[in-house]
Structures are given as structure tokens and as C-alpha cells.
């Protein structure tokens, strides 16, 4: 079953830590984690997201499209990246989420995918 591991972090704190310890030191644990997912053969995809200041929000109100700069929701933590994994069950997904570096300084939301299309590999 496929799961999204949604990584939420405080962008402001992350930027401050990056200045203090350097981007390379912050990135190294994620590189190791990604390599572990690859070695286990469970990763489907994943990436880091640009900061929320680069976001554009689209809404339709009364049939009219509105395009707004920035994220829609004000929150303490922002979606900073994701991994999509394919594992046997929720317990396995939770185990991988607990190993994610963000679990120690942010939040990792685990959410199963709701398949909208058929996978041609599965008939």
C-alpha cells in the first residue's frame, strides 16, 4: 500500500539552524534516510519543497478563479517536503516515519493514498 510521509517543519527555525550549522549538515540526515528507503526498495518518490513564500494558492469562489500569493493557511509548521513509500501496511509506514529526520524536529504525517487511477502494472 502506498503512503505519503508529509514533512512539516517550522521554516523560520529551519532557516536559522541552516545559518548556524550550514545547509550541508542539515541535508546529510535526509540523504542517509533517502538512501535507506532506496536500499529497502520502498520509495516511490519524494522531494523537498521550496519555502511557502514561493507558493501560489488557487481558489474558486462563486465561479471566479482567485489566485493568491503565498500559502492559504497560517500555521506554526509548514509542509516542507514529502516521501511516497510503498509498504505492506500502516505499521511499516509508521516505522519509516519514525526514522525520518523531521520526526525529531518537526512532524511527519502519515497518510494512505486513495488510488484514483488504476496502475497499469497491476492490470
Asked whether 19 and 115 are in contact (CB, 8 A), the reply is: no
pLDDT (tens place) for every residue of the chain, 123 residues total: 999 999 998 887 877 776 667 667 778 899 999 999 999 999 999 999 998 888 888 889 899 998 988 766 667 788 999 999 999 999 999 999 999 999 998 899 999 999 887 666 555
Q: Tell me the C-alpha distance between 88 and 103, whole Å.
A: 21
Q: What are phi and psi of 3, to 5 degrees?
A: -130, 145
> How far is residue 106 from each of residues 56, 63, 101, measured CA to CA in Å?
23, 37, 9
Query: For position 77, which CATH number holds?
Result: 3.30.70.1060
Asked whether 4 and 83 are in contact (CB, 8 A), the reply is: yes
pTM equals 0.81
Residue 69 maps to a domain: yes
Residue 123 maps to a domain: no
pLDDT recorded at residue 119 = 62
Question: How many structural domains are present in the chain?
Answer: 1
pLDDT recorded at residue 26 = 74
Amino acid at each position: 500500500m502506498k503512503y505519503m510521509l508529509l514533512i512539516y517543519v517550522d521554516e523560520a527555525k529551519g532557516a536559522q539552524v541552516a545559518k548556524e550549522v550550514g545547509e550541508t549538515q542539515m541535508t546529510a540526515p535526509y540523504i542517509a534516510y533517502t538512501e535507506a528507503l532506496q536500499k529497502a526498495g520502498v520509495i516511490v518518490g519524494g522531494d523537498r519543497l521550496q519555502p511557502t513564500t514561493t507558493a501560489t494558492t488557487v481558489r474558486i469562489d462563486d465561479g471566479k478563479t482567485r489566485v493568491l500569493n503565498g500559502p492559504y493557511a497560517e500555521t506554526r509548521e509548514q509542509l516542507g517536503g514529502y516521501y511516497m513509500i510503498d509498504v505492506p501496511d500502516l505499521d511499516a509506514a509508521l516505522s519509516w516515519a519514525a526514522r525520518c529526520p523531521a520526526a525529531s524536529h518537526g512532524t511527519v504525517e502519515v497518510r494512505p493514498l486513495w488510488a484514483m487511477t488504476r496502475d497499469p502494472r497491476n492490470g
